[in-house]
Amino acid sequence: MEMELFSAAFFSALFAIILIDLVLAGDNALVIGLVARNLPKHLQRKVIFWGTFGAIAIRVVMTLMVVWILKVPGFMLAGGIALVWIAYKLLSPQSDAGAAHAAAAPAASFAGAIRTIVIADAVMGIDNVLGIGGAAHGSVLLIVLGLAISVPIVVWGSQLVIKLVDRYPSVILLGGAVLAWTGYSMIVREPLVTPWFAEHTSAKLLIAVLVFAIALAPWFTARLPAQLQALVVLLPAVMVWMLAFEVAASVWQVRVDYLLATTTGEYLLEGVRWLGWLPLAAGLLWLRERSTRRNRRLAGG
Amino acid sequence: MLLIRRSARAANAVRNMSPGEELFVASVVFCMLLAAFGDAGNPTVLDALGFEFLIADLGGEMSLLAVGHWHLIEFLLGGAILAGVITALQILAAAFLRSLSPAASRGIDKVPIQP
């Protein structure tokens, strides 16, 4: 998509890229430190320099590759779904923050250290480059600008980022919301499904609610009392139910439209569509309550 | 191995936000959903249903705002304005409700009624 330079859309995409880059930034400095800690002093300085260089280079190459891959039909949809999952994982509370760093083992040689750093950065950066690729709308200039602004912040200003998110944790939630919006935009931009969305306009809205219901579920869960937390599962389930009717309408060539039913069959279909989820929801809540009671009984002895 | 996981507060961001921050993000998400609605809303459906008047009202408002084509900066601005309006309404409503409740019988602000 061509974007006018220095327009609101341009700056919005740039801001989204920087925000995604910050909230999904990997802890490169710590990985480099952990990998280089057992090396001789003269090699440590070289490992820090080349490790940082390698991490930046692999990030740039991966981002450009993602922009290219997203042009392949189907990958935009897959990327959008993956971003929704990434947003969900980003917002899920972590009880053992920092424990994952133990995975970075110290290296015995210079080449081994660089290899470990580059592989660690590639693994840590997959979600990041996917988000950036989606937010950039295919513009290489935006990606280069976003990386030029955010990479120095992440590499040399990690303490600044930590201080920012520590003072304002809402930055993470905003990042999650931006990821969800980017995921939604990627799903509806997928060339394979664009004609289908043009015919089923209400499906777009259902997808939007579904995406936000899944991505922001940890937020709702943290805010709702224990007995109402089942509703967090119920909302996406209802959206999937409604979406299934839209899909069925195109597969079986039946008319499922708001208040346009004329025959008995269409009235029945409308009835099942709008009321059929109620018994399912009641069943789901009953099963959940039963399993909770059973678990409580088992825990009690 | 996310950088933000090094902060205990950020690792549990959903539990550590202030109500103001939460309201702002909720407003931004509301604007995003509104944009999805503006994007999905098809005036021809309303026309087919016989709700032409809604096209002039609702559809007109939507196209005036061009909400379906909003970008992130517009979401943030819209969210900030919405959060500000909600906060102002909350303060006004609280002040109004407080004025309705009677003062304590021995309270200093109780006006004595002279026979």
Q: Quick check: B9 contacting A, CB < 8 Å? A: yes
Q: Cβ of B11 and A209 within 8 Å?
A: no
Residue at B90 is within a domain:
yes
Q: Which of B46, B72, B74 to mutate to test the interface with A (most CBs of A within 10 A)?
A: B72
pLDDT score at B52:
56
pLDDT in tens, chain A (301 residues): 566 777 888 888 888 988 888 888 877 777 887 887 778 888 888 888 888 888 888 888 888 888 888 888 889 899 999 999 999 999 988 765 545 444 556 667 888 888 888 888 888 888 888 888 888 888 888 888 888 887 777 777 778 888 888 889 999 999 999 999 999 999 988 889 888 888 777 788 889 999 999 999 999 888 888 777 878 888 888 889 888 888 887 887 766 665 666 777 777 877 888 888 888 888 888 888 888 888 888 887 6
pLDDT score at A102:
47
Which residues in chain B come in under a pLDDT of 50?
64
Domain residues for the domain of B16 are: 3-100
Q: Quick check: A258 contacting B, CB < 8 Å? A: yes
Q: Cβ of B6 and A16 within 8 Å?
A: no
Structure tokens at A265: 């069959």
Q: Quick check: A222 contacting B, CB < 8 Å? A: yes
Report the number of distinct structural domains present in chain B. 1
Q: Which of B7, B8, B14 sits opposite A173 (nearest CB)?
A: B14
Residue at B64 is within a domain:
yes
DSSP symbols for chain A: ----TTSHHHHHHHHHHHHHHHHT-B-HHHHHHHHHTTS-HHHHHHHHHHHHHHHHHHHHHHHHHHHHHTTSTTHHHHHHHHHHHHHHHHHS--SSTTGGGGGSPPPSSHHHHHHHHHHHHHHHHHHHHHHHHHHTTT-HHHHHHHHHHHHHHHHH-HHHHHHHHHH-THHHHHHHHHHHHHHHHHHHH-TTTHHHHHH-HHHHHHHHHHHHHHHTHHHHHHHS-GGGTTHHHHHHHHHHHHHHHHHHHHHTT----TT---SHHHHHHHHHHHHTHHHHHHHHHHHHHHHHHHHHHHHH-
pLDDT score at A136:
85
Q: Cβ of B45 and A258 within 8 Å?
A: yes
Residue at B108 is within a domain:
no
The ipTM (two decimal places) reads: 0.83
Task: Give the distance from residue A276's alpha carbon to the nearest chain B alpha carbon, in angstroms.
Answer: 23
Q: Quick check: A204 contacting B, CB < 8 Å? A: yes
Task: Give the distance from residue A153's alpha carbon to the nearest chain B alpha carbon, in angstroms.
Answer: 12
In the A/B pair of chains, how many CB contacts fall below 8 A?
A: 150
Q: Quick check: A196 contacting B, CB < 8 Å? A: no
Task: Give the distance from residue B106's alpha carbon to the nearest chain A alpha carbon, in angstroms.
Answer: 39
Q: Quick check: B47 contacting A, CB < 8 Å? A: no
Q: Cβ of A91 and B13 within 8 Å?
A: yes
Taking contacts as CB-CB distances below 8 angstroms, the residues of chain B near A15 are 72-73
CB A70 within 8 A of CB A133: yes
3-state secondary structure of B2: strand
